[in-house]
Amino acid sequence: MDQVLSYIASNHPRYLEELKDFLRIPSVSTHPHHRDDVQRCARFLADELVRIGMQRVECVPTGGHPIVYAEWLGAPGKPTVLFYGHYDVQPAEPFELWETPPFDPAVRGENLFARGATDDKGQVWLHVKALEAHLARHGRLPVNIKLLIEGEEEVSSRHLDAYIDDHAEDLKADVVLISDTGMYDYEQPSICYGLRGLVYMEIRIEGPCKDLHSGGFGGSVSNPLNVLSGIIAQFIDDDGRITIPGFYDDVVPLTDAERRAFASLPFSEEDYRNRLGVGALAGEKGYSSLERIWARPTCDVNGLLGGFTGEGSKTVLPSKGMAKVSMRLVPDQNPDRIAEAFETYVRQLAPASVNIEVIRHGTGKPMLTPTEHPAVRAAATAIEKGFGKKPVFIREGGSIPVVATFKEKLGLSTVLMGYGLPDCDAHAPNEKFNLKNYYRGIYTAAWFYSEIGS
């Protein structure tokens, strides 16, 4: 590793210039007029992968933007890492809010400003550079590696599932590695080992067959909006517990070690409350905010609609109402089972005076990578060496669909080693990547491939 490290150390200026070149290509996947730019960006990346010595480098056409695939499988007996990232970026609008143009990367202070700097070009490039360092110094990698870098992450990975289905054999690996998330805090690297899943439902309720006059009929017939509110009100009890029968059956409780680890993280409930602008935080009794977000399931109304919603008043007794309700799930809740339990419960709560339709919009499985997983241990060691500081182990409250996809389609766990910062402004104007973390990320990635191969 000494040679690899000294190689990296002597190439910082070039790494910066190359990343700038990568960022100059406006690979905005959602805009049709950037189609050629996205293509050019895929080519730029593929050329670099060929240059550093990766094998079987391909720009695979899809129905949309190409997927860049590369591999190096010259380490028989060693594990295989499937690295996933994306080279497409969010649109940069509104342009006028950028201090310097989004596709003209500029260094100010510790940061490199450009669209895609953090999300995800910077984090992809640092892995390419780590691989380059190994290959340049030793002509080989300490581990087998497959790179899958798509150009449609910002447009719902439209063609990724089909690609994975078609290439399941090619993509066989031991673990997935993704650098597309954030650090817990400035100067505090982290490994995310858990994500919540999702069940997104819609309730449609119908009372009388048409809108009625609230004077001529009110009081004699169920108002579907009152009924809908009554149903929703019964989803969560006074202790913040979700009341759907069987909802918690498969929930893996937080371990004492996890609770201690979360509690030791710098987190101020008071700052958090102020940041959200609420008079009080709220949630399931007996849990801290971090525990509630990372490791406990939810039942949130995402949308409500019914009756007259304009200015002023209209005395209508509405015929119909609608609620979108989603549940964040934690391991080992099964989205299909929860969706079914939800529908059964809603139907049971609804009186005979209304009709109910329950629609399932989407589901995603929760994920938990055991912290004893060799790849997680390798990541922890790599981060400690790369950053000079031990990582904290965190979970996240959201879902990363591609993680669930890898689990479902390939049976693979994912290690999330991200280098974004809370203020990196991914998806916003003036996106930036902290250059200290860019360089540390290269060292860390180099260490990771070395550690996991040993």
| Window 328 to 387, contacts with a copy of itself (CB under 8 A) | 328, 351-355, 361-362
CB of 7 to a copy of itself, least distance (A): 38
Q: Single out the catalytic residue among 37, 71, 150, 153.
A: 153
Contact with a copy of itself (CB under 8 A): which of 26, 189, 321, 331?
321
Q: Which is nearer to a copy of itself, 212 or 244 (by Cβ)? A: 212
265 binds a copy of itself, rule: CB under 8 A: no
Residues in region 3-32 near a copy of itself by CB under 8 A: none
Of 136-144, 167-175, 233-241, 430-438, which part binds a copy of itself (CB under 8 A)? 233-241
Task: In whole angstroms, give the CA distance from residue 232 to residue 179.
Answer: 38
How big is the chain, counted in residues? 454
251 binds a copy of itself, rule: CB under 8 A: no
Of 6-14, 86-94, 105-113, 209-217, which part binds a copy of itself (CB under 8 A)? 209-217
CB of 22 to a copy of itself, least distance (A): 28
Q: Which is nearer to a copy of itself, 23 or 299 (by Cβ)? A: 299
Task: In whole angstroms, give the CA distance from residue 405 to residue 104.
Answer: 34
398 binds a copy of itself, rule: CB under 8 A: yes
246 binds a copy of itself, rule: CB under 8 A: no
> Which residues touch 241 (CB under 8 Å, ≥6 apart)?
248, 284, 285
Whole-angstrom CA distances from 284 to 168, 242, 262 are 40, 9, 16
**Environment class of 425 (CB within 10 Å of its CB; exposed 0-12, middle 13-18, buried 19+):** middle
CB of 113 to a copy of itself, least distance (A): 24
Q: Which is nearer to a copy of itself, 10 or 309 (by Cβ)? A: 309
229 binds a copy of itself, rule: CB under 8 A: yes
Q: Which is nearer to a copy of itself, 124 or 212 (by Cβ)? A: 212
Residue type, 253: P
Residue type, 399: S
Whole-angstrom CA distances from 36 to 41, 199, 245 are 9, 37, 52
Question: Is the separation of the CB atoms in 335 and 197 below 8 Å?
Answer: yes
Q: Is 88 in the active site?
A: yes
96 binds a copy of itself, rule: CB under 8 A: no
- C-alpha torsion sign, points 317, 319, 323, 324: negative
Q: Which is nearer to a copy of itself, 76 or 276 (by Cβ)? A: 276
Question: Is the separation of the CB atoms in 178 and 416 below 8 Å?
Answer: yes
Q: Which is nearer to a copy of itself, 78 or 292 (by Cβ)? A: 292
Question: Is the separation of the CB atoms in 144 and 81 below 8 Å?
Answer: yes
Contact with a copy of itself (CB under 8 A): which of 2, 36, 77, 233?
233
Q: Single out the catalytic residue among 48, 71, 88, 258.
A: 88
CB of 394 to a copy of itself, least distance (A): 12
Task: In whole angstroms, give the CA distance from residue 137 to residue 178.
Answer: 24
Query: Judging by DSSP bridges, how do beta strands 432-434 and 111-113 pair with one another?
Result: antiparallel
223 binds a copy of itself, rule: CB under 8 A: yes
Q: What angle do CA 383, 384, 389 make, to 5 degrees?
A: 110
Contact with a copy of itself (CB under 8 A): which of 61, 253, 305, 390?
305
Place of tokens 């953090």: 118
What are 396's strand-pairing partners?
195
284 binds a copy of itself, rule: CB under 8 A: yes
Q: Which is nearer to a copy of itself, 125 or 200 (by Cβ)? A: 200
The pair of three-digit structure tokens given for residue 391, joined into one six-digit string? 């990582």
Count of residues in contact with a copy of itself, rule CB under 8 A: 81
Of 94-102, 109-117, 124-132, 231-239, which part binds a copy of itself (CB under 8 A)? 231-239
Q: Which is nearer to a copy of itself, 129 or 328 (by Cβ)? A: 328
Question: Is the separation of the CB atoms in 450 and 78 below 8 Å?
Answer: no
Q: Which is nearer to a copy of itself, 105 or 297 (by Cβ)? A: 297
The pair of three-digit structure tokens given for residue 8, joined into one six-digit string? 């990296």
CB of 197 to a copy of itself, least distance (A): 10
Task: In whole angstroms, give the CA distance from residue 340 to residue 343.
Answer: 5
Q: Is 153 in the active site?
A: yes
Spell out a b/e string for 222-250, using b for 16 or more CB atoms within 10 Å of the CB, else e: bbbbebbbebbeebbeeebbbebeebeee
281 binds a copy of itself, rule: CB under 8 A: yes
The pair of three-digit structure tokens given for residue 410, joined into one six-digit string? 């390939």
212 binds a copy of itself, rule: CB under 8 A: yes
209 binds a copy of itself, rule: CB under 8 A: yes
Of 13-21, 111-119, 153-161, 309-317, which part binds a copy of itself (CB under 8 A)? 309-317
> Which residues touch 309 (CB under 8 Å, ≥6 apart)?
none
Catalytically active residues are 88, 153
